[in-house]
Each structure stands twice: as C-alpha cells, then as structure tokens.
Amino acid sequence: MQTVLSLASGGLIGLVLALVGGGGSILAVPLLIYVVGVGSPHAAIGTAAVAVTANALTSLIGHARAGRVKWRCASVFAIAGMVGAALGAELGKAIDGKRLLALFGLLMVGVGLSMLHKRRAAEAPDVRLTLDSAATLMPRLIPIGLNVGLAAGFFGIGGGFLIVPGLMLATAMPLSFAIGTSLVVVTALGVTTASSYALSGLVYWRITALLIVGGIVGTLGGIAVGRLLAARKGLLERLFAVIVVGVGLYVAASSL
C-alpha cells in the first residue's frame, strides 16, 4: 500500500508542477506525512527535497527545449540561493519536528493567499544579463536569491512559488520565462537541501525512487493536460491556491 501511495503522491506532485509551474514541492511534505505515512517531519523534508529536485529537472528539459530559460539570470540567482539553502537546511534540522511542521503549514497558507492575487504583467520580455545590465540586475538577483534559498532550505521545498515572483521582481521577465528559469533554481536549491539531509541520514531512498517514477508520469500527463486547459490556467492556479491554503491550515492546526 505504501508503494501505491508513494507512486500516486509522486504523480500528483509532477502533475501540479507541470500544470501551474510549481507547487508540487509544497504539497510533497504533507503528502509524505499524511498519505504515505512518513513519521519524521525531517525525513519527510529530506525525502521530498530529493524527489522534487528530480521532478523539477524533468520539467526543466521541456522548458529549455522551448527556449524559455534565461540561463545567466538563473545561474546568479541559483548560486546565491544555494548559499541560502545550505544555511536554511542546517537551521531547519536544528528545530523540533512539530514546530517545523507548524511553520511549514503557515508558509503554505501565505503562499496560497499570495497566489490568489493577480500577478502584475512584466515589462521587459527580452531581459538579458550582460556587462551593461549587470549593475542593475545583480544587486536585485543576489539578495532575492539568497533569501529565497534560505526559505527553501529551511522548509525543504523547491521554492518555485517564491522563485517565480522573485525572478519577476528582480528582472521583470515574463511569467512564461520566469517559470522556465525558476526550474534551474529549483533544481540547484533542491540538490543543496537534499545533500544536507542525505548526509544526516534523513532521506528514505526507496520512497524517493517511487516518488520520482510517479512524478515523471505525472509531469508527462500534466504537460498534455496543460495544452488542453491552456485557456483556463488562471482558474487552475486559483483552485490550487485554495487547496494549498486548506492543506496549510490543516498541517498547522494538527501540528499545534
């Protein structure tokens, strides 16, 4: 039964990641604890980090082929984020599991509420990180990347819903490019966080493998469904936001 539940959870994570460009990671920890049955919040975070990294890399390949990745912006943001993620992961492991889970639930509520607000349209569709633009973009990319990485490492999430608006705030790139570019950062932060938890023995590798397999299937299905529901992407995002808020309230309340 745990095998089936792990595959199904991975499929849901991959499906959400493909449909709305993020969010699978923020559902991974509650799924592992309340559905799969992982008893330790820290082990759930470590296991989720590895699986989400693999799923993000799968989605990144498709976005990269479509030319929707700003590699230089992603590299700067990712390097700063990896420093923050390494620090955040160490802080997260030092906090009591129930308190960490309660904070995670509150984060979910905040992320869900922020998703309900309509994103402002970007103003620089052809943003490029060059020698001329570095003086303007670097002071924005580095501190935002550092703070997003800190949160991602602390809570063991990919951070897509933090990275996408962070990239748009720093560079004003369009949403479609921010989603593709964010997957580079999600992968980099995930590797950092996952490595920290793995070295502490807080990764269940069998469950991780099942999540990855399910995630690949879910991602492929999500890409196909996304083409059919492209005109209703906004509705999907709002529906998912409501689900995230509801799950977050449940996680916080049960932990407290």
Cβ count within 10 A of residue 226: 16
Proportion of the chain in helix, strand, coil states, percent, rounded to 5: 80, 0, 20
Residue 74's pLDDT band, with cuts at 50, 70 and 90, is very high
If 0-12 CB within 10 Å is exposed, 13-18 middle and 19+ buried, where does residue 112 land? buried
Kindly report whether the global pTM for this prediction surpasses the value 0.85: no
Which DSSP state fits 32? I
pLDDT score recorded for residue 120: 54
pLDDT score recorded for residue 122: 47
> Per-domain residue ranges for the chain?
2-255
Best mean pLDDT range from 98-102, 123-127, 140-144: 140-144
More confident site: 81 or 246: 81
Q: pLDDT tens digit string along 185-217?
A: 988 888 888 898 999 999 999 999 999 999 888
Distance of CA 115 to the CA centre of its chain: 14
Residue 124's pLDDT band, with cuts at 50, 70 and 90, is low
- How confident is the prediction for the chain on average, in pLDDT? 82
**What residues contact residue 249 under an 8 Å CB cut-off, 6+ apart?**
105, 109
- Nearest-10 Cα torsion for 184, 240, 172, 232: 110
Share of the chain above pLDDT 90, in %: 23
CA distance 37 to 46: 14
pLDDT score recorded for residue 75: 93
Residue tagged 């709305």 (tokens): 20
Q: What is the mean pLDDT of residues 69-77?
A: 92
What does the H/E/C string look like for 87-126? HHHHHHHCCCHHHHHHHHHHHHHHHHHHHCCCCCCCCCCC
Half-sphere exposure of residue 139, counting CA atoms within 13 Å on the CB side?
3
pLDDT score recorded for residue 23: 61
Provide the greatest CA pair distance for the chain.
57
Share of the chain above pLDDT 70, in %: 86
Best mean pLDDT range from 44-48, 99-103, 248-252: 44-48
